[in-house]
């Protein structure tokens, strides 16, 4: 049973560029949530997707956007990258919006 997978593992970008991160949920799950974890901090909720729509959103600017596909996989897009966007980006999947979330290994984004 495949767990949550994320790609790429690592990514290096420069300020002002755009980035796309990808997530495949655990088999049988239909909801994907994204989190940003800065170094030495706990994860911060970015948004959650269910039925291809953004259902909830945390306190992140519009530069952060996402998408969910019919197969439940998801993308996180960040535009106009800032140095402060450097972090570990975690994807979590669940069965439904309020069920237990299972996390992927994360994508480490470095912005230079």
> What is the per-residue binding string for other proteins in 38-57, x denoting contact by CB under 8 A?
--xxxxxx--x------xx-
When binding is defined by CB under 8 A, the residue of 20, 58, 60, 95 that contacts other proteins is: 58
Toward other proteins, which CB reaches closer, 38 or 80?
38
Q: Are strands 31-37 and 10-13 parallel, antiparallel or unpaired?
A: unpaired
CB of 45 to other proteins, least distance (A): 4
| Both structure tokens of 32 | 């994907």
């Amino acid at each position: 049973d495949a767990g949550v997978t994320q790609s790429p593992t690592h990514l290096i970008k420069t300020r002002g560029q755009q980035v796309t991160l990808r997530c495949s949920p655990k088999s049988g799950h239909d909801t994907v949530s994204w989190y940003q974890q800065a170094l030495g901090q706990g994860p911060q909720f970015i948004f959650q997707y269910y039925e291809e729509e953004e259902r909830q959103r945390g306190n992140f600017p519009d530069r952060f956007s996402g998408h969910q596909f019919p197969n439940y996989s998801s993308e996180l897009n960040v535009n106009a990258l800032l140095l402060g966007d450097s972090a570990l980006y975690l994807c979590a999947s669940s069965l439904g919006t309020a069920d237990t979330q299972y996390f992927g290994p994360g994508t480490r984004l470095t912005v230079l």
